[in-house]
Copies of this chain bind each other. A is one copy, B any other.
Amino acid sequence: MSDKNNKVYIFDTTLRDGEQSPGATMNPQEKLEIARQLALLNVDVIEAGFPVSSKGDFEAVRTIAAEVQGPTICALARAIESDIKIAADALEPASKKRLHTFIATSPIHMEHKLKMSPAEVLKRAGDMVKYARTLVDEVEFSPEDAGRSDKNFLYEVIELAIANGATSINIPDTVGYTTPMEFGQLIKDIKLNVPNIDQAIISVHCHNDLGLATANSLAAVVNGARQVECTINGIGERAGNASLEELVMILKTRHDLGLFTDINSKQIIRTSKLVSNITGMFVQPNKAIVGANAFAHESGIHQDGMLKNNKTYEIMNPEDIGLLATQIPLGPRSGKHALKSRLEQLGFQNIKEDDLKNIYERFIRLADKKKRVDDRDLVSLATNQSLANESAATFELVHVQVTCGSGGLPTASVMLRDQRDKTNILKGAELGTGPVDAICKCIRRLTKAECTLIEFSVKSVTEGIDSLGEVFIRIQDDLQKGVYSGHAAKTDIILASAQAYLNAINRYYERKDTIKLNPQAAEALTP
């Protein structure tokens, strides 16, 4: 089992492909927070971003390269010299670094997107891998849309990439079209037909358009792939990527397959919650492994349906993914030390003293309001604190007041402080179709933001209506079309909505002009 030939490397692309989920854009601070958690999860490689795509992405990769120890840090670059150079610059501070470059090899992509001949694609692939190896020691090469490529051409491109120094070859199922049988066969064929394949690790990158990403990845490792590209909660473009947690728990539960990963599975739940909090990509209750129902037999609902022998229905142990056995909840009399040690158990290892003080204050206010503060509340408080440490907000919320009801007109009064000129207090009142509409209209008028709300949702963090409500909001810039998210957790969902909306507006002001480049965008490939 400890035979290193049987190790499957986990390449997490939550921060790159995951971030390409519509609306899941993250700022550098959020990406760093997730990268730190991925290091606790013990992934082998973190694909931190696509540095050429925006200033923010460059900064995110560079910050992660400088601050996150443990995993190899990877950056994506098209097969273009300038892309590769910028990616290498972003990676510069990392102790272990990898460059990931790609070019499409399927007829449809070469013809319609690249407008290049197969011979040109082949040459470009070889040249760019060679160039990348002059900058870093590890180079990964992906023939995009490999699943629809001509097999002989594919073998040729792979062989050349390896000959020019590629250390891993990533086979993507870019459009999520293949079946496990086919995809396993493709990996087997590559192993058989590429003469120098033993000099590189075969990686796979599967999309979930038909719901087969995890099964395709599994078929690949059974047939000789030794790296899987995946994301937390399976987020990513369209229907997303293979879920890290599913693949890891398959190999752990089915150890009879003879493969293993180095993932610390006890960090799975915390990582899943952090990614869902930060991106606003909710996890459905019936999601395998990390869904709220995954380990529930009508969870505490029909206790009579519960069996004495867990083994009859449970193939995994809830503790294995970090679902803690019931702990005594903290209450208003719990001290700061007790809070700190519980947070450490939950994975928040390096909380700064100032942050702890803020979390503790909010914890006491919450404990005064509700009877029991449980671990999910604490994770929400701590996550929101680390997100609050962003660059100074443009507007601060001073006061909100709302009246609404079945008879009257929903009315909000709002007072804001403009941080660019602290004496500048803005105030006003608005009517709306409901209280949230009234608040947002008022804030939008006071801040003069030109944006449209595109998503609004609230979820209770724990059971009990007196619990924290987590509000998630996404707005879109009316002119630049950039999307900004804001979230906030409070027992009062109206206050939380006001704060979440203002957080989104603050981001809008902070990054108004950054539009990111999509790595699959067609026009942009000309070097």
* Interface size class, chain A: 35 or more
Q: Once the chains bind, are B21 and A286 in contact (CB under 8 Å)?
A: yes
Q: Once the chains bind, are A435 and B494 in contact (CB under 8 Å)?
A: yes
| Chain B residues near A21 (CB-CB < 8 A) | 285-286, 293, 298
Q: A21-B293, A208-B286, A304-B515 are in contact. List 11 more A-B contacts (CB 8 A).
A: A211-B246, A238-B295, A239-B286, A282-B282, A283-B284, A305-B521, A400-B405, A404-B495, A434-B494, A440-B465, A453-B465
A282-316 CB mask vs B (1 if < 8 Å, else 0) is 11111111011111111101111101110111111
Q: Once the chains bind, are B179 and A218 in contact (CB under 8 Å)?
A: yes
Does A522 count as interface, using CB distance less than 8 angstroms? yes
Does A491 count as interface, using CB distance less than 8 angstroms? yes
Known: A239-B288, A286-B281. A22 touches B314 (CB 8 A): no
Does A86 count as interface, using CB distance less than 8 angstroms? no
A443-486 CB mask vs B (1 if < 8 Å, else 0) is 00000000011111111100111100100000010000101000
Residue in B249, B281, B515 whose CB lies within 8 Å of A210: B249
A386-427 CB mask vs B (1 if < 8 Å, else 0) is 000000000001111111111110100100000000000000
Q: Once the chains bind, are B286 and A177 in contact (CB under 8 Å)?
A: no
The 5 closest A-B pairs by CB, nearest first: A215-B215, A305-B518, A434-B492, A401-B405, A211-B246
Does A181 count as interface, using CB distance less than 8 angstroms? yes
| Chain B residues near A283 (CB-CB < 8 A) | 284
Q: Which residue of B lies closest to A294 (CB)?
A: B239
Q: Which residue of B lies closest to A465 (CB)?
A: B453
How far is it, in angstroms, between the C-alpha of A476 and the C-alpha of B287 when the chains are bound?
A: 23
Stretch at the interface among A193-201, A229-237, A354-362: A229-237
Q: Which residue of B lies closest to A276 (CB)?
A: B284
How far is it, in angstroms, between the C-alpha of A257 and the C-alpha of B180 when the chains are bound?
A: 13
How far is it, in angstroms, between the C-alpha of A212 and the C-alpha of B314 when the chains are bound?
A: 16
Residue in B238, B434, B457 whose CB lies within 8 Å of A490: B434
Does A23 count as interface, using CB distance less than 8 angstroms? yes
Known: A466-B432, A494-B434. A296 touches B238 (CB 8 A): yes
Q: Once the chains bind, are B298 and A20 in contact (CB under 8 Å)?
A: yes
Q: Once the chains bind, are A307 and B401 in contact (CB under 8 Å)?
A: no
Does A320 count as interface, using CB distance less than 8 angstroms? no
Does A240 count as interface, using CB distance less than 8 angstroms? yes
Does A342 count as interface, using CB distance less than 8 angstroms? no
| Chain B residues near A407 (CB-CB < 8 A) | 399, 401
Residue in B179, B305, B406 whose CB lies within 8 Å of A495: B406
Known: A212-B250, A236-B286, A492-B434. A457 touches B459 (CB 8 A): yes
